[in-house]
């Protein structure tokens, strides 16, 4: 990620909008034209993650009183701040917890795909999200739905902060709010059937950026990895990273960098290596064209086709 940080040296204006994240955090995209859905019967099997969120993870574990979660990757510092939502029963704002685990990652992939399918930041989700949960996790009712709904509330309230340290006296910071409109309180009577609100509204800047920086993922792969947050992170990262690698120059990522990105909670490198190897095997069982190797020094990654490239077409911008 070191070479990507140089772009920040030109920006010293403090807080930046989400729309400015991509050109400053990611390398120039390998595909110059915007990606659009291929008009095919199986387009519903495609889901998407934003390029930035393929590199920036959420907490893996639940920490009840945690309000600010952060970790550092080289000169980059990532922070997720838990937020507040208006409780109609109390008539005031109350704190909601931190999004964590596989569920908010799956929710993001779903919301991104629905926004692109509907070509709107306002997403109609009343029945489709329940169906998605049922397909991905095998359960569509009761406790599982309530847990997904709770994670959607947490995700809606959270603020993502990306910062770059230049030296002891200079830093740049980006605040990103993904969801700007939602109504997701449970009914007072917990015995009532839990239903989804009919719409969720993404921030306009996030939606605009997503249209040109969406990484396609396949539903069956998400379903196979739906129980592991680390597995979803590795899969999304490889999906956006491998096809960008120079075909004649493999990329090397040392274990220290892998732990910074995927294992900030692991104090012992030995434990992280064991978990990473185990999880990577699950990912590679799905992403079989990924060309990577692990040894005692780290990972060697080679140019590989993205997992769902054949299911996308490029649409040329209209001529003026």
Does position 3 have pLDDT exceeding 80, yes or no? no
pLDDT at 15: 38
List, for residues 266-296, the tens digit of each pLDDT value: 989 999 999 999 999 999 999 999 999 999 9
pLDDT of residue 200: 87
Q: Which residues of 189-218 are buried (b: 16+ CB within 10 A; e: fewer)?
A: eeeeebebeeebbbbebbbebbeebbbbbb
pLDDT at 45 over 70: yes
pLDDT class of 160 with cuts at 50, 70, 90: confident
Q: Model-level pTM?
A: 0.81
pLDDT for 139 = 59
- In angstroms, the CA 114 to CA 205 distance is 16
CA 5 centroid distance within chain: 20
Is the pLDDT at 30 greater than 60? The verdict is: no
| pLDDT value at residue 115 | 92
Question: Which pLDDT does position 174 carry in this prediction?
Answer: 66
Band of pLDDT at residue 196, cut at 50, 70 and 90: low
List 78's β-bridge partners, or say none.
71, 162
Q: What percent of the chain has pLDDT over 70?
A: 72
State the Cα–Cα distance between residues 143 and 141, nearest whole angstrom. Answer: 7
Q: Exposure of 41 by Cβ count < 10 A (0-12 exposed, 13-18 middle, 19+ buried)?
A: exposed
Distances in Å between the Cα of 203 and the Cα atoms of 65, 183, 191 are 27, 15, 33
Task: Evaluate if residue 244 carries a pLDDT over 60.
Answer: yes
Q: What is the model's pLDDT at position 187?
A: 53
Picking from 48-62, 163-177, 207-221, which range would have the lowest pLDDT averaged per residue? 163-177
pLDDT at site 8 = 33
pLDDT score, position 156: 87
Specify whether the CB–CB gap between 155 and 99 falls below 8 A: yes
Rounded average pLDDT over 127-145: 74
The pLDDT score that the predictor gives to residue 126 is 67
> Residue 147: what pLDDT?
86
Write the pLDDT tens digit of every residue in 86-122.
Answer: 887 788 999 999 999 999 999 999 999 999 988 999 9
For the chain, what's the residue count? Answer: 320
């Amino acid at each position: 990620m070191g070479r990507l940080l140089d772009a920040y040296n030109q920006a010293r204006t403090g807080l930046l909008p989400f729309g400015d994240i991509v050109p400053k955090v990611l390398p120039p995209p390998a595909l110059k034209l915007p990606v659009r859905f291929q008009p095919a019967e199986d387009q519903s099997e495609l889901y998407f993650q934003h390029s930035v969120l393929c590199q920036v993870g959420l907490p893996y574990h639940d920490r009840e009183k945690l309000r600010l979660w952060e970790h550092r990757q080289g000169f980059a510092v990532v922070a997720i701040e838990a937020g507040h939502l208006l409780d109609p029963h109390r008539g005031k704002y109350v704190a909601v917890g931190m999004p964590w685990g596989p569920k908010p990652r799956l929710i993001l992939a779903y919301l991104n795909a629905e926004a692109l399918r509907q070509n709107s930041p306002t997403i109609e989700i009343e029945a489709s999200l329940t169906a998605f949960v049922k397909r991905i996790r095998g359960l569509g009712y009761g406790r599982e739905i309530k847990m997904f709904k709770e994670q959607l509330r947490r995700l809606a309230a959270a603020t993502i902060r990306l910062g770059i340290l230049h030296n002891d006296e200079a830093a740049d910071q980006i605040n990103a709010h993904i969801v700007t409109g939602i109504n997701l309180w449970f009914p007072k009577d917990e015995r009532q059937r839990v239903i989804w609100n009919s719409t969720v509204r993404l921030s306009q800047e996030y939606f605009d950026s997503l249209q040109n920086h969406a990484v396609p993922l396949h539903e069956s792969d998400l379903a196979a990895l739906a129980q592991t947050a680390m597995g979803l992170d590795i899969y999304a990262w490889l999906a956006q990273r491998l096809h960008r690698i120079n075909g004649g120059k493999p990329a090397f990522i040392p274990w220290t960098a892998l732990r910074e990105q995927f294992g900030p909670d692991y104090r012992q490198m030995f434990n992280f290596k064991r978990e990473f190897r185990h999880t990577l095997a699950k990912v590679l069982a799905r992403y079989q064209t990924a060309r990577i190797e692990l040894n005692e020094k780290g990972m060697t990654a080679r140019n590989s086709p993205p997992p769902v490239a054949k299911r996308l077409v490029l649409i040329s911008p209209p001529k003026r």
